[in-house]
Structure 1
Amino acid sequence: MTGEGTITPAAPPRRRRTLKAAVTAGLAVAGAVLVAATIWIVSLGPVPLAQTKQISTTVVDRNGKLLRAYAMADGRWRLPVTAATGVDPGYLNLLLGYEDQRFRSHHGVDPLALGRAAVQLLTQGHIVSGGSTITMQLARLLEPRRERSISVKLQQIVRAVELERQLSKDQILDLYLTLAPFGGNLEGIRAASLAYFGTEPKRLSLAEAALLVALPQSPERRRLDRYPDAARAARDRVLDRMVGDGRVSKEDAAVARAEPVPRLRKPMLLLAPHATDQAVSSSPDTSLIRTTLDSTIQRNLELLARDRAAALGPDISIGIIAVDHESGAVLAHVGSPDYFDVRRAGQVDMTRAVRSPGSTLKPFIYGLAFEDGFVHPESLIDDRPIRFGNYAPENFDMNFQGTVPVRRALQMSLNVPAVALLDRVGASRLSARLKQAGATLVLPKDEVPGLAMGLGGVGITLSDLVRLYAGIARLGQTVALREIVRSETEDRDTRRLMDPAAAWQIGNVLIGTPPPENGVHGRIAFKTGTSYGYRDAWSVGFDGRYTIGVWVGRPDGAPVTGLLGRTAAAPILFDAFARTGKLSVPLPKPPRGVLVASNAKLPLPLRRFRPVGELVRSGSEQALRIQFPLNGSRIDAGADSEQSFAPLPVKVAGGVFPLTMLVNGIAVGEIDSRRQRLVAPPGPGFVRLTVMDATGAADTVVVRIQ
């Protein structure tokens, strides 16, 4: 055709078919690639997060401070840590600035970082900065691969996206800080900081922070214990980069470069080894065990034990326990001066070893005597030769003091008065009461409690002894000692040791005991003890807050000439109180009903104690006896609407006037001339009624008021 315009001929059918085939082929290839990629991604399975739960077992104190960590079964150290509370903010600033500046904004992969790394590699011929994000590095740690290939990098990218979908940014950062390699068997910043600097990573210098940023890039080639120069060079490159980015000043970087790098690893923190071993043994499936210990007090008392043991000799061991007696929480547990000292059997926990307590059980004899009401701290008692069958006790210095106040007899730890009181109280009753209070007493095979137990003829642990003394400080109620924090509702039931009035009187007596040369008088109520043959030296004491017990001796039980509780253990006890870092708290005020009087103002029967064998009577005199109520009887006192009880009549036969009436060990007046008296019951439950005559003779019944 001809004309002004032209008509473009249509594309040949063959070309259209070729284009359509190409598009179809392209879509098919893309689909195949997509399907293959999908199959490949699915074949990867879920992100292996289960292994992140495999961490070192850690034991912490009451404030969350690390006492000790245990390596995992394969020998690696991997300690849990959180960026928010466990890591220096300066380190985090360097880490994110050096490794992943857009960590908070990307979704696992940072295209800008990948592009920058590629351009730097092409233009400079070597890697200047990596393109992997923190999330991608975490993915590599979760699925480590030795080879470096495109497929491996793609897998890290896929995993990084999956991690970002499953975890928060803080969780990802915490996992990286826990899993990052730092050379050898160290994983995570916390393990590295403890091994290289001996401190938690909460506070790091700029040099330390830069070093910890550099090490994970090539942990084996920069190991401080093998290649310190390479580690230092890597640290300095981090500092140079941070100066260039404006995150660190030139002056601070110069100071950091001048700081040397550690060349040796430090031993992992090891506080309270015996207590932590026991905690892990009792909670084997728990990765974080919280204890009641106070790391500061624990460290101070461990140093004290080590120093004193060195002065006492290479074979001497020391055990110390410090408790908050109100709660029963153990604040320090020193089982030996040195856990690794073979000669001292350092791994033997001497706080739990059964040893002879010497005279440290005497306060409980006096406490029961005060409770029974036949003796008072100001009563007079004889310290003179006396025989109980075939047993004739003697004092430690082989001398006798004559007639002394009961208070002084306990403070001087005189043996004869203690045995005389135990004879009156009853050895079986003392044993039963101590066991009731939670202590385990060990007697020789086939033997029953006897008078010798008052002077150490029984076995007990330092832990149980401290529990008993804490019961005195608690005015007669003991609580179980605890070292592991299990729950807020754990059982903390109390057990009866003695009456509150008797317990207060014991504390009032013991606080007057003359202290050792390094002690201050009137601050600590304490008692010492030395076992037969100079095998064990003890000192246990308390103030208004803490109870502390000290044992000194040889772990094998061999005698040590001159080893005395007063000269070996008591000075350690007073130093231990000083090293708690707390001011001494006064003992509690006397509870209601305590009789505070001089000897001259005591009831006549309480002015002087006489052993039962000294009660000499004329032929016409009848023995003192409570006729009513009968021992063990139950009495309905008929409580009225106001819950008060009707007076209880007490009738007595025999005895020498005046006759003194005591209810639960507290004097309430005298029996009248008709040998009877009305007594107001203190309340429902068991009540001990005691009548004492002018010669010191007494009779006691226990009745139940209902």
Structure 2
Amino acid sequence: MRLRTLASSVRPRHAAWWALPLAVLLGLLLLDRLFPLPAPGRDSPYALVVEARDGTPLRAFPDKDHIWRHPVRLEEVSPLYLEALTRYEDRAFWWHPGVNPLALLRAAGQWATQGHIVSGGSTITMQVARILDPQARSLRGKLVQILRAVQIECHYSKREILALYLNYAPMGGVLEGVEAASRAYLGKPALRLSHAEAALLTVLPQQPSRLRPDRFAAKAQGARDKVLRRMAGRWSDADIREALGEPVVAQTLREPMLAPLLAQRLKETADAAGDRTRIRSTIDAASQATVENLLGDRVRGLPPRVSLAAMVMDNASHEVLAYAGSADFGDKDRFSHVDMVRASRSPGSALKPFLYGFALDEGMIHSESLLSDTPQSFGGYQPGNFQQSFHGPVSVSEALVKSLNVPAVEVLDQLGPLRFVAMLRRGGLKLDFPRGAEPNLSVILGGAGVRLENMVGAYAALARKGLAVVPRFTPDAPVREQRMMSEGAAFIIRDILETGGPLGRAVEGQGAYRGIAWKTGTSFGFRDAWAFGVSQRYTVGVWVGRPDGTPNPGFFGANVAAPLLVDIFTALPGGRNANPEPAPPGVTLEKICWPTGMRAQGTDPRHCPVQRTAWTLQGVTPPTFADKVRGGAQLLTYFTDRASGMRVMPACAHGDVDRHELARWPASLEPWLDADLRRRALPPGWAKECEQAYRPEGIRIVGLSDGEVIRQARGADLPRARVDVRGAQGGDLHWAVNGSLVAAQGKGNGRVLEFPHAGRYDVTVFDGGGNVDRVSVSVVAATVR
């Protein structure tokens, strides 16, 4: 009975002892639910940093309070800093439950004796609690901080708590976190801190405003030295002595601003994806700084409102190493916030390499195919060259190197504009046309819009065996490549642009451009100047102009964009090719003939008045394009009078005749052949007895005779000549003197030509039907006696 009574009295007492901890635990859980921990960074949901490939901050996007914070992980921070932090701030960090009772008792004793708080006894966890839930510096605030610290220890591991401190500790001014402070004050990542630097950043959060090393170096040094002395026994005496002798030197606090427009672009992408912490880009910080400095130097010599853009891509990885969307991000007068890497602008002649590459793959041309750089009409479209001059017979290589317009339109006319645009799109380069517009022949001269970044990806095909790519701005971006042209065509085009073709390979030259395959472009009205180049390692694109589209007379690709392109290649490590690349399988050198375009081997020497060495693809030597003005076979059979050597027909000849055969030059080129070649490659003039019956009427210049010599009278001005035309077929007449266009006029009107100095003058006229006549005259100055 007595035992039962005793047992009954003990059981309730034991139950009470168990109920009390349970009630406390439930109460804590309830408080945790009622007063949840604020999430880290709750006041800065939009804080973000965009980094270079090595972690160098490119641009920081602060929160609403303009706080700069660079997220960092424990393994990205120097062990020296972690040692100094835990030893100086909180030696018991790794074992206490959020608060250190001994430190609190010490702080309470100081408060009781001094009447105010001398030291807070704060642990690192308590400091994190103050960061997450700021409280007033009072007894109540300290109690709340203690409870929060215990709460934090229940929710986070020690490493997670330490990471919160590393990222959110105040570091002076608008800086938070050790990485932001290390980058801003010391210009280096927190992983590379020295002993002295680690001690400095350890003490900085104690009084971030008063210990800023950029403003109060002496105070900061005194506080740093206190930390260093506290590290005795942990660090060697030699390291501490060396660190104590190191002065505190901090750079002026400034916002990181490399590749600002790319950073803005990546931020927009991150905002859409919900990732707002840190973005690692492919940018190489050194290359980016180099390109920005080059653009900054160059823009100072340009007129107001003119800007520049440039992009550098690694050919092997497709990664963009440098991205400058404007010349100077701080110059609003130059439209600094307009990203011209993404803007759609007319490329001028920059698409020509792709046209000739496609024509090679289609078996339409080889590198020395004969083209006509003469005044021509293509269904009413009459292109002219940039310098308003013509060169007569040119090869594909010459046409591409000199960026001649008429030969490019001639090739595009054969390939077809719609097909050309489709082939570009197949290779990943999409052109922008006005709404409702269809591709036409003007597309090869800039009649569509392109973007710098897309053009860089397309030009990379010349260094990547014909494979174009999509430039990558982040390491996790997918690798995308498309076949732009064959490996052989890419080699031939690149060789032409780099060395000038087979002939250029045999001669030293190219000056500053040696080792770079490059091409320029200038849009109509001098609105856009471009230069694109490839080496084995890089593809670079440059744009110069006004973002608002205002013309810049005298600004064209060769004089403003190409020199900057060369400077960029020269400044990049390994930027140039040491030697031209060897030809790939399927590309061979062949001797070919003009005017037929066929292989010299097996061709009658009489039909090969001019031989050239050409790159051919798969052994194909296509014939010269059909003559638009004069149809018929390439070979011409004609007869001459044996006695006079003049051209006759058997029916009208008065004596014995000889039969001849030669390869015909395109009619538009005949007036442009030099005198020696004309004697060898053209039939002689008609004999009088056959002229009336067989000479075609055609277009003829009257007022000047071929070979005429004009002498200046003594004391008189240099002479002029009035010329007219007979036999024009249609359209306006165009006059050229020594290859330069001088006038356009309607039919039936004469023209006065001036000869400003002594010498030879080649006078050419052509009509809308492509009919051409040419005469050469010599002007002799008066002799002085």
TM-score range, shorter chain: 0.7 to 0.9
Output one character per residue of 1:191-248: Cα deviation in whole Å (capped at 9) or x when no partner: 2333333443233355543332223223345456777665555445444545698776
2:169 and 2:205 in contact (8 A); partners too: yes
Length-normalised TM-score, structure 2:
0.67
Cα 1:221–1:294 shift into 2, 3 Å: closer
2:213 and 2:249 in contact (8 A); partners too: no
| Distance in 2 (alpha carbons) for counterparts of 1:296 and 1:241 | 38
Written as runs of structure 1 = structure 2, the 5 A alignment for 1:297-308 is 297-308=287-298
Cα 1:412–1:427 shift into 2, 3 Å: same
| Distance in 2 (alpha carbons) for counterparts of 1:120 and 1:516 | 83
Task: Please state if 1:370 is matched with 2:385.
Answer: no
Counterpart of 1:511 in 2: which secondary structure? helix
The residue aligned with 2:48 is 57
The residue aligned with 1:176 is 165
Cα 1:602–1:456 shift into 2, 3 Å: farther
1:517 and 1:571 in contact (8 A); partners too: no
| Distance in 1 (alpha carbons) for counterparts of 2:243 and 2:204 | 18
| Distance in 1 (alpha carbons) for counterparts of 2:101 and 2:511 | 71
The residue aligned with 2:429 is 439
Cα 1:204–1:62 shift into 2, 3 Å: closer
Task: Please state if 1:73 is matched with 2:36.
Answer: no
The residue aligned with 1:537 is 529
Written as runs of structure 1 = structure 2, the 5 A alignment for 1:11-160 is 39=27, 42-45=30-33, 48=37, 50-52=39-41, 56-85=47-76, 87-117=77-107, 131-149=121-139, 151-160=140-149
1:424 and 1:612 in contact (8 A); partners too: no
The residue aligned with 2:181 is 192
From 263, 266, 269, the equivalent of 1:276 is 263
Counterpart of 2:333 in 1: which secondary structure? coil
The residue aligned with 2:563 is 571
| Distance in 1 (alpha carbons) for counterparts of 2:316 and 2:434 | 33
2:465 and 2:488 in contact (8 A); partners too: yes
Task: Please state if 1:558 is matched with 2:589.
Answer: no
1:47 and 1:163 in contact (8 A); partners too: no
Cα 1:587–1:36 shift into 2, 3 Å: same
| Distance in 1 (alpha carbons) for counterparts of 2:600 and 2:256 | 58
Task: Please state if 1:597 is matched with 2:590.
Answer: yes
AA at the equivalent of 1:73: K
| Distance in 2 (alpha carbons) for counterparts of 1:502 and 1:246 | 64
| Distance in 1 (alpha carbons) for counterparts of 2:245 and 2:270 | 46
How far did 1:589 drift? 4.6
| Distance in 2 (alpha carbons) for counterparts of 1:614 and 1:475 | 38
| Distance in 2 (alpha carbons) for counterparts of 1:405 and 1:336 | 38
2:537 and 2:574 in contact (8 A); partners too: no
Counterpart of 1:527 in 2: which secondary structure? strand
The residue aligned with 1:11 is none
| Distance in 1 (alpha carbons) for counterparts of 2:302 and 2:280 | 34
Counterpart of 1:312 in 2: which secondary structure? coil
How far did 1:178 drift? 1.0
1:52 and 1:175 in contact (8 A); partners too: no
The residue aligned with 1:333 is 323
Output one character per residue of 1:315-370: Cα deviation in whole Å (capped at 9) or x when no partner: 32111112233443322211011112111101111112222212111112211221
Cα 1:130–1:424 shift into 2, 3 Å: same
Cα 1:324–1:242 shift into 2, 3 Å: closer
Task: Please state if 1:386 is matched with 2:401.
Answer: no
The residue aligned with 2:612 is none
AA at the equivalent of 1:267: R
AA at the equivalent of 2:189: E
The residue aligned with 1:696 is none
2:446 and 2:523 in contact (8 A); partners too: yes
| Distance in 1 (alpha carbons) for counterparts of 2:427 and 2:633 | 42
Cα 1:477–1:31 shift into 2, 3 Å: closer
Cα 1:567–1:519 shift into 2, 3 Å: same
Residues 73-82 or 120-129, more deviating? 120-129
The residue aligned with 2:675 is none
Length-normalised TM-score, structure 1:
0.74
AA at the equivalent of 2:373: D
| Distance in 1 (alpha carbons) for counterparts of 2:161 and 2:237 | 25
2:217 and 2:248 in contact (8 A); partners too: no
| Distance in 2 (alpha carbons) for counterparts of 1:592 and 1:253 | 63
The residue aligned with 2:491 is 504
Counterpart of 2:472 in 1: which secondary structure? coil
| Distance in 2 (alpha carbons) for counterparts of 1:539 and 1:516 | 20
Task: Please state if 1:292 is matched with 2:282.
Answer: yes
Task: Please state if 1:407 is matched with 2:422.
Answer: no
Output one character per residue of 1:586-645: Cα deviation in whole Å (capped at 9) or x when no partner: 676544323432325457694762355156227999xxxxxxxxxxxxxxxxxxxxxxxx
The residue aligned with 1:424 is 414
How far did 1:74 drift? 3.9
Cα 1:65–1:220 shift into 2, 3 Å: closer
How far did 1:268 drift? 1.8
2:58 and 2:257 in contact (8 A); partners too: yes
Residues 512-521 or 293-302, more deviating? 512-521
AA at the equivalent of 1:102: A
AA at the equivalent of 2:347: P
Cα 1:502–1:228 shift into 2, 3 Å: closer
RMSD (CA atoms): 3.8
> Which consecutive unaligned segments of at least 5 residues does structure 2 have?
1-11, 594-598, 604-619, 637-661, 664-785
Written as runs of structure 1 = structure 2, the 5 A alignment for 1:442-591 is 442-444=432-434, 446-486=436-476, 490=478, 492-513=479-500, 519-521=512-514, 523-585=515-577, 589-591=582-584
The residue aligned with 2:673 is none
Counterpart of 2:334 in 1: which secondary structure? coil
Output one character per residue of 1:641-665: Cα deviation in whole Å (capped at 9) or x when no partner: xxxxxxxxxxxxxxx99xxxxxxxx
1:599 and 1:607 in contact (8 A); partners too: no
AA at the equivalent of 1:613: K
1:211 and 1:234 in contact (8 A); partners too: yes
| Distance in 2 (alpha carbons) for counterparts of 1:418 and 1:345 | 34
| Distance in 2 (alpha carbons) for counterparts of 1:261 and 1:499 | 55
1:380 and 1:607 in contact (8 A); partners too: no
Cα 1:468–1:276 shift into 2, 3 Å: same
AA at the equivalent of 1:545: R
The residue aligned with 2:208 is 219
From 596, 621, 632, the equivalent of 1:617 is 632
1:529 and 1:565 in contact (8 A); partners too: yes
AA at the equivalent of 1:84: E
1:516 and 1:570 in contact (8 A); partners too: no
| Distance in 2 (alpha carbons) for counterparts of 1:33 and 1:164 | 19
Output one character per residue of 1:402-429: Cα deviation in whole Å (capped at 9) or x when no partner: 3233212211212222121111111222
Output one character per residue of 1:674-703: Cα deviation in whole Å (capped at 9) or x when no partner: xxxxxxxxxxxxxxxxxxxxxxxxxxxxxx
AA at the equivalent of 2:523: S
| Distance in 1 (alpha carbons) for counterparts of 2:423 and 2:313 | 22
2:281 and 2:475 in contact (8 A); partners too: yes
The residue aligned with 1:204 is 193
| Distance in 1 (alpha carbons) for counterparts of 2:498 and 2:235 | 65
| Distance in 2 (alpha carbons) for counterparts of 1:35 and 1:501 | 82
Q: Percent identity?
A: 41
Counterpart of 2:468 in 1: which secondary structure? strand
Cα 1:444–1:127 shift into 2, 3 Å: closer
2:84 and 2:199 in contact (8 A); partners too: yes
